[in-house]
Amino acid sequence: MGKRIGMEVGIAAAEAVALCNIDVAAVYPITPQSHIAEHMADIIHDGRIDAEFITVESEHSSISACAGASATGARVYTATSSQGLMLMHEILPIVSAMRLPVVMGNANRAVSGPLNIWNDHGDIMPQRDSGWICLFTENGQEVIDLSIMAFKIAEDPEVMLPTVVNIDGFQLTHMIEPLEFPTQAQVNKFLPDRKPYATLHPDNPMTMGCFNMPDIFTETMKAKDTALWNSKKTIVKVFNEWGRQFGRKYNVVETYKAKDAETLILTMGSMGETASIAVDEMRKAGRKVGLVKLRLWRPFPVEELRAAIKGCKTLIVMDRAISFGGAGGPVATEIKSFLFHDKGRPRIVDFLMGLGGRDVTVGDFIAMVERAKNKKDETYEYYGVRE
Amino acid sequence: MIEIRWHGRGGQGAVTSVEMLALAAIEEGKYAQGFPAFGPERRGAPVMAFNRVSDKPIKIRSGIYRPDVVVVLDPSLVSLVPVTDGLKPDGILIVNTSKTASEIRKVLNYKGKLFTVDATHIAKEELGVPISNTTMLGAVLKATGVLKMDAMKSPLEHRFGRVAGKNMTAMKRAFNEMKQAKAA
Amino acid sequence: MAKKKTEQKKWPEKWHEVTPGCMVFEPGNAANYKTGSWKAQRPILDTKKCIKCGICYIFCPEACIQEDTEGFFQADLGYCKGCGICAHECWPGAISMVEEEE
């Protein structure tokens, strides 16, 4: 492992991808992802890696170009954010249905309207049902590590599914912080060349993305769903391989002081580290509070979550996205639905917070734990909203 | 851990300052963050940028509301922006100004630790432009002792290439010419 | 890049028999699907009027018109959907569309 260096995380994401021997990048710039797009273009233009950068006219085109390139057997990367991801929406389930291992970085940002360029998870949650593997990162180092691991996961013959690495916009993308890069030789050892299951080639005609009549569509959907569920095995395997080679161990569900905790805070993305400081402070005051962090969102790590929250009385879910007119934030709704039949399940408190770039401080986490104590019902609440 | 808030105007290089400081600290083996006030950047508008520097890994990812140090890059911001907001009682205020310390104290109604330096003047003489961001890095190093001057050399060379030397000179002058104001 | 040949049934019966991505490895297997039953009208070629120009062959959207040994262009009625484009495009008026049941 190399020396610790300082770098902006957005730039680091592009540098990490550049270590992955990609063949094609098709990236359309959008705040706060722009530095990834610009730096990726620089790396390829400067000839540092042997790859094509396709300059596209929209995100709909960038993901379509990625799908086409991936179908020929290429290793492909794209990145986007917010409205760009929304524009890709139509193509996302096609990429997964065609089992194309495209890797995408998504700089999480609120979706319009009103226009807001700041961080929340409102862009990725509407893509929840697209059939992509969906990972979240907590700091710059995880952005590097998971961007590299994403290719290995996506391209595994047991998986063959597109993978999105979520990178909180600004909070992560625009942060200069210390990072360690693996060397090219180390990445080469970790990440072998892609061995495609099938490729589009004029010499061997075949069909990808075929038409399905009603009498086969259901079977195709179940096959896709099963493939996504089965991918968890490979995700864990790749996390373990990374841990063995680089000494940084990743889990699909991470915990912090959770073992004897009566109250657990559940976060996704960059909030986790700030929340851990709040846990430390509350522990110092004698409160049995702990932290659970979902690194994997799709496929949902239900067994690992059950194990992590075992014995806790209150689970406070931090939702950074809204399901208007629905049961609550997408994360809490999902967890409630999985735990519905579990005897002795914890009380679940759902806070919608950190929306559209509103900062979440150590004090906010402590205040939410306090607020949860007296909250009787399990309906969702907008934390910190001015009443 | 030391938390620093920089006030400047869009285009004056506050973001470059936090970048240089963070990179230098990391190169020295410390842990550091450098980040802008998130959002659109507008030339001329008052902007903020932030640093955290620590000997241990930094976990916090929220904004800085109780800084240890406030740096004011543009003299006109003193009467325009509440620069001392949230500054810790034992915190440090560093102002680029040609005015006297007592004048600054009066405008801000500020009684804490205060350092002043005419960085615009130094920058004009050394760099030929009134851009004070790298010059003010010298003042920050002197007032806080957070890093040695030599630590800045590599990031400045990487960023400014052949004009890095002039920036180093300007920085050193601010380091030497900065004055600590008498306690109020 | 070589494709991977897998044994596959003509039609997956169960969900786990569906190929990954529902890929189809047998090229040209659309030929197994006879679309000739769709047509309500069929093209009749008058060889006296036909000048063997082949414009019907070019325009046929089903690509079911082929040149025969005598140089005439004949529709394969196993696939012809009866759209009538050949008759419309045939400028010497050699193709006429007749009701299928006649």
8 Å CB contact of B58 and A177: yes
Q: A105 and A29, same structural domain?
A: yes
State the nearest Cα–Cα gap between C102 and chain A, in angstroms.
32
**Amino acid in position A45:** H
Q: Provide the pLDDT for residue B118.
A: 97
Match domain B2-180 to its CATH number in 3.40.50.1220, 3.90.1300.10, 3.30.470.20, 3.40.920.10. Answer: 3.40.920.10
- A171 and A134, same domain (yes or no): yes
Find chains touching chain A: ≥3 CB pairs under 8 Å: B, C
- Provide the mean pLDDT of chain B: 95
- Examine the fold and report which residue of A185, A215, A246 is the final residue of a domain before the chain moves on: A246
Partner residue facing B61 (CB), from A31, A118, A270: A270
Establish if C1 touches chain A: CB-CB under 8 angstroms.
Answer: yes
Mutation pick from B4, B38, B56 vs chain A, by most beta carbons of A within 10 Å, is B38
Contacts with B1 from chain A: Cβ below 8 Å: none
CATH of the domain at A18: 3.40.50.970
> Is the same domain home to A148 and A172?
yes
Q: Is A139 strand, coil or helix?
A: coil
Range of the domain at A8: 4-246
Average pLDDT, chain C: 89
Instruction: Please list the rounded mean pLDDT of every run of 10 residues in chain A (387 residues).
Output: 88 98 98 98 98 98 98 98 98 98 98 97 98 98 98 98 98 98 98 97 93 94 98 98 98 98 98 97 98 98 97 97 97 97 95 97 98 89 96
- For residue A276, the chain B residues in CB contact (below 8 A) are 59
Quick one: closest CA in C to A97, which residue?
Answer: C21
What would the DSSP string read from start to end of A40-83? Answer: HHHHHHTTSS--EEE--SSHHHHHHHHHHHHHTT--EEEEE-HH
Contacts of C27 in chain A (CB under 8 A): 204-206
Rounded Cα distance between C44 and C84, Å, is 10
Alpha-carbon distance A264 to A272, whole Å? 12
Report the DSSP pairing between strands B179-180 and B113-117: antiparallel
pTM, two decimal places: 0.93
Of A207, A212, A216, the CB nearest to C23: A207
Per-residue confidence (pLDDT) for residue C28, from 0 to 100 = 85
The confidence score (pLDDT) of residue A115 equals 96
Domain end marker among A198, A219, A246: A246
Q: Does C33 touch chain A (CB under 8 A)?
A: no
Question: Could you tell me if A202 and A283 lie in one domain?
Answer: no
C22/A contact by beta carbon, under 8 A: yes
A interface mutation test: which of C13, C14, C15 has the most A CBs within 10 A? C15
* Residue B94: closest CA among B38, B153, B23, B174: B174
Question: Structural domain tally of chain A?
Answer: 2
Q: Do A204 and C2 touch (CB under 8 A)?
A: yes
* Whether residues A209 and A311 fall in one domain: no
Tokens of C50: 């036909």
Q: Which residue of A has its CA nearest to C5?
A: A198
Which chain A positions have a beta carbon within 8 Å of C12's beta carbon? 216, 219
**Where residue C7 falls among pLDDT bands split at 50, 70, 90?**
low
% of chain C at pLDDT higher than 90: 76
Task: Indicate yes or no: CB of C25 within 8 angstroms of CB of A206.
Answer: yes
Select from A229, A246, A263 the last residue of a domain: A246
| pLDDT average, residue stretch B156-177 | 96
Q: Do chains C and A touch (3 or more CB pairs under 8 A)?
A: yes
Query: Taking a C-beta distance cutoff of 8 angstroms, is the pair A283, A185 a contact?
Result: no
For B62-110, write each residue's pLDDT tens digit.
Answer: 999 999 999 999 999 999 999 999 999 999 999 999 999 999 999 999 9
Q: Are residues A239 and A272 in the same domain?
A: no
In A, minimum Cα distance to B40 occurs at: A117
Tell me the CATH number at A302: 3.40.50.920
User: Residue A387 domain-assigned?
Assistant: no
Task: Delineate the domains of chain C, giving CATH numbers in brackets.
Answer: 36-99 (3.30.70.20)
Give the distance from residue A130's alpha carbon to the nearest chain C alpha carbon, in angstroms: 14
ipTM, two decimals, is: 0.94
- How many residues appear in chain A? 387
Question: Is A328 part of any domain?
Answer: yes
Predicted local distance difference test score (pLDDT) of residue C30: 83
Pick from A199, A205, A222: CB nearest C15? A222
Q: Where are the domains of chain B?
A: 2-180
Q: Is A360 on the interface with B (CB under 8 A)?
A: yes
A117 with B39: Cβ contact below 8 A? yes
Q: Is the pLDDT of residue C3 over 50?
A: no
Which of A81, A93, A82 shows the shortest CA–CA distance to A228? A93
Q: What are phi and psi of A205, to 5 degrees?
A: -60, 140
Residue A98: which residues within 8 A CB-CB, separation 6 or more?
Answer: A67, A71, A208, A209, C21, C23
A174 with B33: Cβ contact below 8 A? no
DSSP A277-346: HHHHHHHHTT--EEEEEESEEES--HHHHHHHHTT-SEEEEEE-S--TTSSS-HHHHHHHHHHTT-TTPP
Looking at the complex, report in whole angstroms how far the Cα of residue A212 sits from the nearest Cα belonging to chain C: 9
pLDDT in tens, C29-48: 888 889 999 999 999 999 99
Any CB–CB contact under 8 A between C12 and chain A? yes
Confidence of residue C2 (pLDDT cuts 50, 70, 90): very low
Q: Do A170 and B38 touch (CB under 8 A)?
A: yes
Chain C residues lying within 8 Å of A226, measured CB to CB: 15-16
Q: CA C21 to CA A200: how far, in whole Å?
A: 13
Q: Model confidence over A279-303: pLDDT tens digits?
A: 999 999 999 999 999 999 999 999 9
pLDDT-derived band at B38, boundaries 50, 70, 90: confident
Residues A225 and A156 in one domain: yes
Which pLDDT score is estimated for C1? 41
Judgement on whether residues A227 and A302 belong to the same structural domain of the protein: no
Return d(Cα A9, Cα C93) in angstroms, integer.
70
